[in-house]
Amino acid sequence: MSRSTDTATLRVTLLGTGTSTGVPVIGCSCRVCRSSDPRDRRTRCACYIEANGLGILIDTGPDFRQQALREGIRRLDAVLYTHHHFDHVAGIDDLRPFFFENSRPIPCYAPPNTARVLYRMFSYIFADGTYPGVPRLHLHAVEGPFEITSRYGDAARLRVEPIEVLHGQLPMYGYRIGHFAYLTDASQLPESSYERLQDLDVLVLDALRERPHPTHFSIDEAIQVARRIGARQTYFIHMTHDVLHAEVDARLPEGINLAYDGLQFTCRLTTS
Ligand SMILES: [Zn+2]
Ligand SMILES: [Zn+2]
């Protein structure tokens, strides 16, 4: 009997898919904020990845606690930060329960500019670290591909590749793991990043709303970028309350859809 090639897969859960205010917006009674479609309720963007037995988060926004409870997240080996805006980092202190049974520090990876800001914003975690009960986080400023190893004593490892994107004028990172890439908060991609985004099974991409915005792709801009990258499937995230899921999703081209909170999918981790 010939042994079939074992194609390892990674599993992605989109924890949140909304813009910085979340949807519904506090005090708003527009049709999207009042929508009864659960896909129109969007918590702040974050993503959980399971691959090679490891559990990895991208960003810890202000809704992280509720998202982790909702999805039953139990394992965490590393956090990848895309940039330092509040809607992507404010839940960092809620990483504490991951130390209740496992005191090993959690490595956090970030672009150098974001690492500097995180260090300042959360100095009680990163600078002194002596107060009992603070999360034990090791912050790494990364400028190229790196490897994550297990916090749980097994031999699991995983290669992660930062992908540079521009968020208005702010350089920040998306991340590629295997045939999956996650690009939030982007308004432009350098040429070198397009080269790193070939042969994707799934691309997750920022698409704020129909109208243009200085620091996020609009839906039409995101469609252009998604077509150029050519992933087998693209999901849009970071939508505002201008976007009614059923209406906008219905007009998107084949292979491109709006994401929603809790959406799960799998991708190839390796090619062979
Ligand atoms: Zn941002
Ligand atoms: Zn954002």
Per the CB < 8 A criterion, the answer to whether 79 and 108 are in contact is: yes
For 238-256, the pLDDT digits (tens) are 999 999 999 999 999 999 9
Q: Is residue 4 part of a domain?
A: no
Per the CB < 8 A criterion, the answer to whether 119 and 139 are in contact is: yes
Instruction: Give the Å distance between the CA of 233 and the centre of ligand 1.
Output: 24
How far apart are the C-alpha atoms of 235 and 184, rounded to whole Å? 11
Total domains in the chain come to 1
Instruction: Give the Å distance between the CA of 187 and the centre of ligand 2.
Output: 12
Instruction: Give the Å distance between the CA of 221 and the centre of ligand 1.
Output: 17
In this structure, what token pair is assigned to residue 93?
């202190």
Q: Is residue 1 part of a domain?
A: no
Ligand showing the shortest atom-to-Cα distance for residue 208: 2
Q: Is residue 147 part of a domain?
A: yes
Q: Specify the DSSP class assigned to residue 102.
A: -
For 66-87, the pLDDT digits (tens) are 999 999 999 999 999 999 999 9
Q: Where are the alpha helices (DSSP H) in 150-244?
A: 191-195, 219-229
For 222-231, the pLDDT digits (tens) are 999 999 999 9
Instruction: Give the Å distance between the CA of 185 and the centre of ligand 1.
Output: 5
Alpha carbon 56 to chain centroid, angstroms: 10
Q: Is residue 3 part of a domain?
A: no
Instruction: Give the Å distance between the CA of 229 and the centre of ligand 2.
Output: 21
Task: Give the pLDDT band of residue 272 (cuts 50, 70, 90).
Answer: low
Q: What pLDDT, on the 0 to 100 scale, is given for residue 86?
A: 97
With H, G, I as helix, E, B as strand and everything else as coil, classify residue 117.
Answer: helix
How far apart are the C-alpha atoms of 111 and 90, rounded to whole Å? 17
Ligand showing the shortest atom-to-Cα distance for residue 45: 2
Q: What is the CATH number of the domain that holds 134?
A: 3.60.15.10
For 207-227, the pLDDT digits (tens) are 999 999 999 999 999 999 999
For 164-173, the pLDDT digits (tens) are 999 999 999 9
Provide mean pLDDT across the span 154-166.
96
Query: What residues make up the domain containing 133?
Result: 9-268
Provide mean pLDDT across the span 4-9.
58
197: left (phi > 0), else alpha (psi -120 to 50), else beta? alpha
Q: What pLDDT, on the 0 to 100 scale, is given for residue 132?
A: 78
Location of structure tokens 């519904």: 24
Instruction: Give the Å distance between the CA of 127 and the centre of ligand 1.
Output: 24
| Average pLDDT across the chain, whole number | 95
Q: Is the pLDDT of residue 4 over 80?
A: no
Instruction: Give the Å distance between the CA of 152 and the centre of ligand 1.
Output: 32
Q: What pLDDT, on the 0 to 100 scale, is given for residue 271?
A: 67
Q: Is residue 187 part of a domain?
A: yes
Q: Is residue 2 part of a domain?
A: no
Instruction: Give the Å distance between the CA of 130 and the centre of ligand 1.
Output: 30
User: Angle at Cα 57 formed by Cα 56 and Cα 58, nearest 5°?
Assistant: 125
Q: Is residue 217 part of a domain?
A: yes
Instruction: Give the Å distance between the CA of 248 and the centre of ligand 2.
Output: 20
Instruction: Give the Å distance between the CA of 6 and the centre of ligand 1.
Output: 38
Provide mean pLDDT across the span 146-162.
95
Provide mean pLDDT across the span 40-56.
97
Instruction: Give the Å distance between the CA of 137 and the centre of ligand 1.
Output: 22
Instruction: Give the Å distance between the CA of 188 and the centre of ligand 2.
Output: 14
In this structure, what token pair is assigned to residue 231?
């992933």
Q: Is residue 114 part of a domain?
A: yes
Location of structure tokens 């912050």: 139
Instruction: Give the Å distance between the CA of 176 and the centre of ligand 2.
Output: 18
